[in-house]
Chains A and B, each alone.
Chain A
Amino acid sequence: MKKNDLLLRFLLGGSAVALSYLVTVISPWKILGGIFAAFPAVMLTAVLMMGISSGSKKAANIATGSVFGMIGGIVCVATVLLVLQASGNWMFSIISGVILWLGSSFAISEMKEHTKKRSLSRA
């Protein structure tokens, strides 16, 4: 993997997330700020870069794969919320949120793959 390619991806991904923050701060319309607070910047950049380098099919696979990560995202937010309400420990809530995001994303993806294989073997 070329270093320049990785650097470009880092700059694009970082800029997309930073830009969504700038919109929330600079925008004169409060509504626009609220919308961009949840902008899927990383997904957009990852799909865009995959589309440029490998075409629509690979980019679609990244988008489909990101669904599991997004479900994991809800698990992450819910975990942070519950841990904050239960313990009031801010750092612990972030660490448990990230661990459960990764764990649940892979678990959901594996379950989906397992179900797909079972239905294929039955057919």
Chain B
Amino acid sequence: MSGLSLSALLIRFILGGTAVIASTIISRKLGDRAGGIFAAFPAVFLAALLTNGLDFHGQELISHSILLSKGAIFGMAINIGVAILAGYLLPRQGWKRGLTEAMVCWFVVSMVVVMITSNYESKGGLHEKK
């Protein structure tokens, strides 16, 4: 992503807001478990895909979307761990402290994963140069 796009920002705003409202309404009508499922709506990933559709076309769109999906699998795996941790911490430490600790953990794990994957990519780039 090179520059700030207003349409990309708007797509994310609408998807994020709608998912939170859906999670609230569904948790009140069908229970917290069903509401939780909508709380995990992959809004960031889908918004990024839709934005790709605005920026690219044809084969370029397909290859960019494949690249985005490969990266998103790592992010989703980390988010599962964070959701499990939040479910464990919240009843024990209260929602404020529990949620803060879970998000700090998400940040640290994500940073380590991004550092490892970017290091791996740059090494791959060096081998290609040789």
Contact = CB atoms under 8 A, between A and B. Distances in A.
Contacts of B32: 50, 58, 61-62, 65
B37 A69 contact: yes
Interface string A54-76: 01111111111111111111101
Majority secondary structure of chain A interface residues (helix, strand, loop or mixed): helix
A42 B39 contact: yes
B43 to A, nearest CB: 5
B8 A63 contact: no
B107 A35 contact: yes
B79 A60 contact: no
Contacts, number: 273
Contact of A40 (B62, B69, B82): B82
A56 B40 contact: no
A6 B66 contact: no
A37 interface: yes
Interface string B44-60: 11111110010000010
Interface residues on A, range: 35 or more
A77 B69 contact: yes
Contacts of B49: 80, 94
A72 B36 contact: no
A51 B95 contact: yes
A88 B4 contact: no
Nearest to B111: A35
A62 B39 contact: yes
A25 B3 contact: yes
Nearest to B51: A21
A62 B38 CA distance: 9
B90 A38 contact: no
Q: Shortest 6 CB-CB distances between A and B: which pairs?
A: A65-B36, A38-B75, A69-B40, A17-B16, A13-B20, A14-B17
Given A46-B36, A61-B36, 6 more contacts: A13-B16, A17-B44, A47-B39, A56-B95, A65-B32, A65-B35
